[in-house]
Amino acid sequence: KRIAVFISGSGSNMLKLADACEAPAFPAEIVAVMSDKPEATGLTKAAARGIKTLSFPRKAYESKQDHEAAMLDALAEIQPDFICLAGFMRLLSGDFIRAWEGRIINIHPSLLPLFPGLNTHQRAIIAGMKVAGCTVHFVTEGMDEGPVIGQAVVPVLPGDDADALATRILTVEHQLYPAALERLAAGNVWMENGKAVFPGDA
């Protein structure tokens, strides 16, 4: 399966997906890495691996609609089977998501439905959580509320600050995302009637 990865920053999750795709038996290949930030260091790292990269600087477009139209046009050319959002920091419009619903996934650094949005680690600590983690989910119109494909859990330790917790979670993100992508690309999870469906589900 052909995968386009959207990033806005370091792209550590994208790089782990790229590593996983290098295994011959892995059912996916990354055909493009796209970013809304031309300076995203993940673009340089992807290009160094010979992956096609494209950037769509938000300020180069009159409107969000034009910005998304440019990305949709590029996707029509590249024709990925799935889109993986990985540290992509823009909210995609309903039109964009409807065009890709069921074929676009995201990794979010919390155990959804807890802590959608930003500053998830600080919020988990303030809430007194004893566990935290990350979620890979199908992207739907609402922010961070699509059907869950997989989750990974880590302990919140005494004395943790947001950075310590973020570092611990990032480690399990890097295992969860490739595993979730393999399941999706292999057809072992799909989205139906707004739900994630797994083979063997009743």
Neighbouring C-beta atoms of residue 64, cutoff 10 Å: 14
Which CB atom, from 68 or from 144, has the smaller least distance to ligand GRF? 144
Catalytic residues: 108
Q: How far is the CB of 83 from ligand GRF (least distance, A)?
A: 14
Which CB atom, from 107 or from 180, has the smaller least distance to ligand GRF? 107
Which CB atom, from 9 or from 27, has the smaller least distance to ligand GRF? 9
Which CB atom, from 13 or from 140, has the smaller least distance to ligand GRF? 13
Taking alpha carbons only, the member of 86, 81, 100 closest to residue 186 is 81
Q: How far is the CB of 108 from ligand GRF (least distance, A)?
A: 6
92 annotated as a binding-site residue: yes
**Residue where the block lists tokens 């997989």:** 150
188 annotated as a binding-site residue: no
165 annotated as a binding-site residue: no
50 annotated as a binding-site residue: no
Taking alpha carbons only, the member of 89, 165, 90 closest to residue 123 is 165
The binding site for ligand GRF (CB under 6 A) comprises 7, 9-14, 86-87, 107, 109, 134, 170, 173
**Full 3-state SS string of the chain:** CEEEEEECCCCHHHHHHHHHHCCCCCCCEEEEEEECCCCCHHHHHHHHCCCCEEECCHHHCCCHHHHHHHHHHHHHHHCCCEEEECCCCCCCCHHHHHHHCCCEEEEECCCCCCCCCCCHHHHHHHCCCCEEEEEEEECCCCCCCCCEEEEEEEECCCCCCHHHHHHHHHHHHHHHHHHHHHHHHCCCCEEECCEEECCCCC
Q: How far is the CB of 102 from ligand GRF (least distance, A)?
A: 20
Q: How far is the CB of 128 from ligand GRF (least distance, A)?
A: 21
91 annotated as a binding-site residue: yes
Annotated binding site for (6R)-10-formyltetrahydrofolate: 64, 89-92, 106
Name the binding residues. Answer: 11-13, 64, 89-92, 106
